[in-house]
Amino acid sequence: MVLLGADATLPCQLSPEQSAAHMHIRWYRTQLSPAVFVYQNGQEQGGEQMLEYRGRTELVRDSINKGGVALLIQHVRASDHGQYWCHFKDGQSSQEAIVELHVVGLGSAPHVHMMGPEDGGIRVLCSADGWFPKPRVQWSDMMGVNLQSLSEFQTQDEDGLFRVEASLVVTDSSLGNVTCSIQNPLSGQEKASAILLPEPFFPRMDPWKAALVGTVPVLMLLLIGISYTGWREHQAKEREVKKKKRESHERDQMKNEKEMALKDKDNLKEELEQRKKLYLADWRKALLYPDWRRELFRPVDVTINQEIHQNNSDPERKQKLREETQDLSLSDKKGDCNLITLNQEGFTSGRHYWEVDIKNTDEWTLGIYEMPTGKIGLSTDLQNKKFRVLEKKGCKYRALTCGPQDISLEEHLLIEKYPQKIVIFLDYEDKDISFYDMTQGTHIFSFTQARFYGSLYPYFSFKSMQHSPSEQY
């Protein structure tokens, strides 16, 4: 067993001891050729060696005269994990043995954050990467009691290392905090992170609804009881007296209920102010309540190019727009077809936000672009810009970072309900760009820890729906 990136020595020894210097020695994986390492006629034979082991393997020759032919593998990778065969051949005789190498990769500590309200509780997400082999994920409360994950996804990168994401919906506001632990199944080593879940962040039932549920059955029972008594006595006078008493009681009841409703309203207002105070004290960790978040950012004066909307009924104009609003990955385009104009200088500091209405569009690209310091003017040449945007094509969404030298796919997004209006929050000093669905009041995606080297500007392009209203989704 060896840690990822360290050196591993695979032992192999003839018994009884005898010199192996004159023998044909071959280390291999699943087939004899190509091999991990070949030793013949007293020297290494590189012609049959697998490409991934070249420059990383050598024979430990200190004890070859005693039959020891241990193999040294330098800078162990995840792909080195598995079985190796040590093969001796002396004339017509041959023997071999199996050695199994276990590679252990300890990845990053789990990152835990709140996603927002869901199913009467709070959805919490735990993510970590750089683990090998596939790690185990476990949620627990502060008493150490294990909690069941709602969902768990694991993927492998190009180096074979695992990234894991697990979510949990916490409905019990008394838990206080929950812990996410990532454990390596081979070594048993683990890393853990906890998150505090403040009780005011949990969604609650409106007090007036709870009062109504308890009051209506009581009033119904009272009405039935009074009516039944009047029917039994068959006396008009008694019925009238009881009716007056009932009306007086109902008036008192309604008065009391009105006073209770006003009191509950005041309590709800006080609780809402307390919840908002807690949110404002630690708003960066809570990916919810975009209306409150807007109070911490400055609104931006932007203009959407109305000519594009008006000319969109012209077939020739449609075709031209379609060609101009292609995927940002086509870096040889000279125009980026930005439909949004910032009515001020570009952003170089501060916190800002703006909203974009995207209804009746089936393909759009929305976000920001960066002009490096020193560029003169606002050239539309894509080679001078770096984009950080959300992109929608059909029913698929993804987050893109597109620069002058490369394009990297940040993440494919799962969005259940089609957004009608999106607000973009830009925190220049905190290096954060966040997107929220204002219709649902939910967080969509954030570019975090971005590096800014120049002025930032809004970006928006779209393609309108081409089918009839009955076909819209």
For residue 180 the two structure tokens come to 């996410």
Q: What is the pLDDT of residues 351-405, one digit of tens each?
A: 999 999 988 788 899 999 998 876 444 444 556 788 999 999 888 889 998 876 6
Q: Which residues pair with 113 in a beta bridge?
A: 125
The dihedrals phi and psi of 11, each to the nearest 5 degrees, come to -80, 150
**Inside any domain, residue 61:** yes
SS3 per-residue string spanning 172-228: CHHHCEEEEEEECCCCCCEEEEEEECCHHHCCCCCHHHHHHHHHHHHHHHHHHHHHH
pLDDT at 464: 65
| 225 and 186 in a common domain | no
Give the domain-ending residue among 286, 305, 320: 286
- Indicate the helix (H) or strand (E) that contains 24: strand 24-28
d(CA 367, CA 392): 12
CA neighbor of 173 nearest in space, from 275, 84, 55: 275
Give the CATH number, domain containing residue 66: 2.60.40.10
**Inside any domain, residue 466:** no
3-class secondary structure, 382: helix
| 254 and 214 in a common domain | yes
**Inside any domain, residue 472:** no
Beta-sheet pairing, 340-342 with 71-73: unpaired
CA neighbor of 200 nearest in space, from 220, 176, 221: 176
| 115 and 83 in a common domain | no
| 118 and 229 in a common domain | no
For residue 253 the two structure tokens come to 């009841």
| 187 and 248 in a common domain | no
Angle between helix axes 236-281 and 207-233 (nearest 10 degrees) is: 170
Continuous H helices in 203-351? 207-233, 236-281, 290-294, 306-310, 315-324
| 213 and 250 in a common domain | yes
Give the domain-ending residue among 201, 223, 244: 201
**Inside any domain, residue 83:** yes
3-class secondary structure, 3: strand
For residue 196 the two structure tokens come to 């505090």
| 435 and 369 in a common domain | yes
Chain position carrying tokens 């984009």: 387
Q: Which residues pair with 460 in a beta bridge?
A: 366
**Inside any domain, residue 328:** no
Number of neighbouring beta carbons within 10 Å of residue 436: 27
Q: Are 119 and 31 in contact (CB under 8 A)?
A: no
pTM of the model: 0.43
For residue 329 the two structure tokens come to 């990955």
Give the domain-ending residue among 81, 101, 121: 101
**Inside any domain, residue 50:** yes
For residue 453 the two structure tokens come to 């080297």
**Inside any domain, residue 465:** no
Residue 30, CA atoms < 13 Å, CB-side half-sphere? 3
| Overall domain count for the chain | 4
| 76 and 183 in a common domain | no
| 165 and 182 in a common domain | yes
Parts of the chain with a pLDDT under 70: 204-214, 306-336, 374-383, 404-410, 464-473
**Inside any domain, residue 128:** yes
Q: Are 422 and 435 in contact (CB under 8 A)?
A: yes
The dihedrals phi and psi of 371, each to the nearest 5 degrees, come to -100, 120
| 30 and 97 in a common domain | yes
| 423 and 404 in a common domain | yes
| 160 and 71 in a common domain | no
pLDDT at 376: 45
Q: Which domain holds residue 67?
A: 2-101
Give the CATH number, domain containing residue 428: 2.60.120.920
